[in-house]
């Protein structure tokens, strides 16, 4: 959007479509939608711009930005967006991964369970939180266990749809480990469901993806038995 460009109100039909899309949590692609110029602006400039914009949001809501408790909020929110909860948007923040030879010749599934999922719904910018369970079968290469957690965290730190998050983690592990034998299972709660709309505090969303040997029933059964034990 160009500077000083007027944002025109949406018509009723467009708003209705947006409402329907948001409530259904539809993912439009496996890749996070990004503009080509997404990283032309520096982090510091992004923080300054978001700070100014969020100041206007708070002021529009009628809040007194001269109050000691509120006057630092626009900066804190802007810094949080760029440096923390959305830092996974920038490929420069992708965790560095070192592969190792599978010297033990371990050819069974390796499972990392109960990995923390802390992400943000891209439709309402509200938190998503839960657990991810990841498994793979080595084709000759392995990575450190903590690196799996870092991969999950990297893809969580961006506006997300849970279906996309699941596939992004899977595709990255398949690429890194050079194996098709990968399983992902995510069970998460969405605050856009629990704090607005239907306000359901008890429900959670489950997504899964299986490839290679995990498409076979026996392997999936072993995986599920392990993560639910």
Please indicate whether residue 190 is annotated as part of the active site. Answer: yes
Two structure tokens written together for 125: 């910018």
Residue 14: partners with Cβ closer than 8 Å, 6 or more residues away: none
Please indicate whether residue 156 is annotated as part of the active site. Answer: no
Cα(195)–Cα(182) distance, integer angstroms: 34
Please indicate whether residue 162 is annotated as part of the active site. Answer: yes
The active-site residue, picked from 51, 124, 156, 168, is: 124
Please indicate whether residue 36 is annotated as part of the active site. Answer: no
Tell me the residue ranges of DSSP E strands in 21-150.
100-101, 109-121, 127-137, 141-142
Please indicate whether residue 228 is annotated as part of the active site. Answer: no
84-92: list long-range contacts, CB under 8 Å, 24+ apart: 84/157, 85/118, 85/120, 85/157, 86/120, 86/157, 86/158, 86/159, 87/157, 88/153, 88/154, 88/155, 88/156, 88/157, 88/158, 89/32, 89/34, 89/38, 89/157, 89/158, 90/39, 92/39
The active-site residue, picked from 51, 160, 162, 168, is: 162
The active-site residue, picked from 25, 122, 156, 168, is: 122
205: helix, coil or strand? Answer: strand
The active-site residue, picked from 123, 156, 168, 189, is: 123
Please indicate whether residue 25 is annotated as part of the active site. Answer: no
Residue 117: name the closest of 18, 39, 44, 207 by CA. 207
153: helix, coil or strand? Answer: helix
The active-site residue, picked from 51, 133, 160, 192, is: 192
Active site residues: 121-124, 162, 190, 192
């Amino acid at each position: 959007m160009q500077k000083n460009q007027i944002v025109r109100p949406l018509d009723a039909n467009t708003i209705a479509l947006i409402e329907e899309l948001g409530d259904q949590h539809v993912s439009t692609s496996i890749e996070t939608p990004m503009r080509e110029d997404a990283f032309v602006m520096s982090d510091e400039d992004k923080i300054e711009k978001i700070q100014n914009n969020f100041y206007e949001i708070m002021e529009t809501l009628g809040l007194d930005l001269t109050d000691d408790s509120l006057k630092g909020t626009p900066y804190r929110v802007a810094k949080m967006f760029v440096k923390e909860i959305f830092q996974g948007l920038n490929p420069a923040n992708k965790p560095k991964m070192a592969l190792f030879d599978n010297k033990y010749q371990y050819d069974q599934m390796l499972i990392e369970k109960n990995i923390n999922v802390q992400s943000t719904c891209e439709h309402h910018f509200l938190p998503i939180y839960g657990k991810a369970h990841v498994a793979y079968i080595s084709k000759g290469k392995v990575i450190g266990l903590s690196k799996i957690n870092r991969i999950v965290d990297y893809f969580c730190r961006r506006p997300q749809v849970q279906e996309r998050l699941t596939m992004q983690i899977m595709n990255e592990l398949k690429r890194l480990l050079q194996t098709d034998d990968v399983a992902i299972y995510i069970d998460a709660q969405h605050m856009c469901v629990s704090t607005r709309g239907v306000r359901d505090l008890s429900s959670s969303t489950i997504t899964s993806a299986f490839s290679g040997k995990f498409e076979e029933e026996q392997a999936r059964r072993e995986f599920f038995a392990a993560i639910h034990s």
